[in-house]
Amino acid sequence: MKPGYFSEHDSAEVVAARASEDADARAREIYRVLVKHLHAAVRELEPTQEEWLRAIRFLTRTGHMCDDWRQEFILLSDVLGVSMLVDAVNNRKPSGASESTVLGPFHVAGAPELPMGADICRDKKGTPMLVKGRILDTAGNPIDGARIDVWQANDEGFYDVQQKGVQPDFNLRGVFRTASDGAYRFKGVKPKFYPIPADGPVGQMLEALGRHPYRPAHLHYIIEAAGFQSLTTHIFDPDDPYIHSDAVFGVKESLMAEFRWTEDPEEIAAEEMRAPFFLVVRDFVLAAAS
C-alpha cells in the first residue's frame, strides 16, 4: 500500500484507504462513511482553527458531563435528531402498523405487572386519566397475550427516577397483559411537558441556537407479543404548547391522541372513575415478525 499523501481535495479517500483489508468489513464501512461525511462538512464550513478548537472543547465537556446517571452524548444525539433517525431506519413498518418513536432515557426494567384497569399513579397527584384501547394485528384481529409496558412523567413533568424519595418507586409505571379480546385499560394522570436536562453543554448549545429544551406531554409504550415486532412508541397530546417543537423530534402525526375531558356523571360512573377525568382511547397495530 502506497496511498497518495493528504491533500485538501481527496482527503477523505486518503484517510479511508488506511483501513486494513483484514479489518472487519462493517468497521471499515462505518469508518469510510463517517470520514467521507465529516470531511464534506469541514470542506463546506471551512472552520477556523479557533472554531475547530471550540468543537474539540465542546465534545470534551460533553464527555466530562457523562456519568452513571447522565448521558450527555445521548442527549446530543437526541437534540440533533440522530436518535430519531436511527429509530426510523430500524423501524420501517408495513402500511397500517403503528409507528415507533424514541425510547427515551427514563424507561425502567422490572415495573410491576398489574391487573387490567389498575391505576399506575401511586401518589394520587394530578388530574385523573383513563387510557384504553386494543392491540391489533395489521388485519385488525386482536392480539392475545400482548405485553404492554407503560410509563409517564407526573403532572409536574418528572419521572419517578428523577424524584427519588419524592415520588413512590415505580410511580406511573406498569405492565399489562391482554386477553383474547386484545383490550387494555389503565388509569394514570394527565402528563405535562418537561425540559430535557439543560444544565450541561447540550443545554448551552440549544441556548446558542435559540432552541428551547422542552418535550411535549406524552405517554410511553413498549408493546411486545409473540410473532410480532415489538413496538416502542409514545402518544402525544396535540394541544400541548410544544407539540410542534419537541426538543428531541419524537412527535409524528400518527402518534397524536385525543385527551378528552369527561365530566358527564353517567360516563364517569360507566368507566368506574370517581371524578371528572381525561379519556384517551388508543389502539396499536403491531407488524408481524419478519
Cβ closest to a copy of itself, residue 163 vs residue 245: 245
Q: Half-sphere exposure of residue 46, counting CA atoms within 13 Å on the CB side? A: 2
Stretch that binds a copy of itself, among 14-22, 109-117, 189-197, 260-268 (CB under 8 A): 14-22
The set of cell numbers assigned to 247 is 426538543
Cβ closest to a copy of itself, residue 16 vs residue 285: 16
Q: How distant is the alpha carbon of residue 189 from its chain centre?
A: 19
DSSP string, 149-181: EEEE--TTS--GGGSBTTBPTTTTEEEEE--TT
Stretch that binds a copy of itself, among 32-40, 141-149, 187-195, 264-272 (CB under 8 A): 32-40
| 68 belongs to the binding site for a copy of itself (CB under 8 A) | no
| 161 belongs to the binding site for a copy of itself (CB under 8 A) | no
Stretch that binds a copy of itself, among 44-52, 132-140, 153-161, 257-265 (CB under 8 A): 44-52
For 178-205, b/e burial (b = at least 16 CB within 10 A) is beeebbbbbbbbbbbbbebbbebbbbeb
Cβ contact 39:19 at 8 Å = no
**What is the contact mask toward a copy of itself in residues 166 to 205, using x (rule: CB under 8 A)?**
----------------------------------------
Beta pairing partners, 223: 148, 231
The strand order across the sheet containing 231-236 reads 173-177, 147-152, 218-224, 231-236
| 41 belongs to the binding site for a copy of itself (CB under 8 A) | yes
Cβ closest to a copy of itself, residue 73 vs residue 158: 73
Rounded distance between C-alpha atoms, residue 36 and residue 44, angstroms: 12
Q: Nearest approach, Cβ of 87 to a copy of itself (angstroms)? A: 8
Please select the residue that binds a copy of itself; options are 118, 209, 268, 281, rule is CB under 8 A: 209
Q: By CB under 8 A, what part of segment 213-252 binds a copy of itself?
A: 244-245, 249-252
Q: By CB under 8 A, what part of segment 80-119 binds a copy of itself?
A: 80-90, 92
Please select the residue that binds a copy of itself; options are 25, 109, 139, 208, rule is CB under 8 A: 208
The helix-helix angle for 201-208 and 72-79 (nearest 10°) equals 20
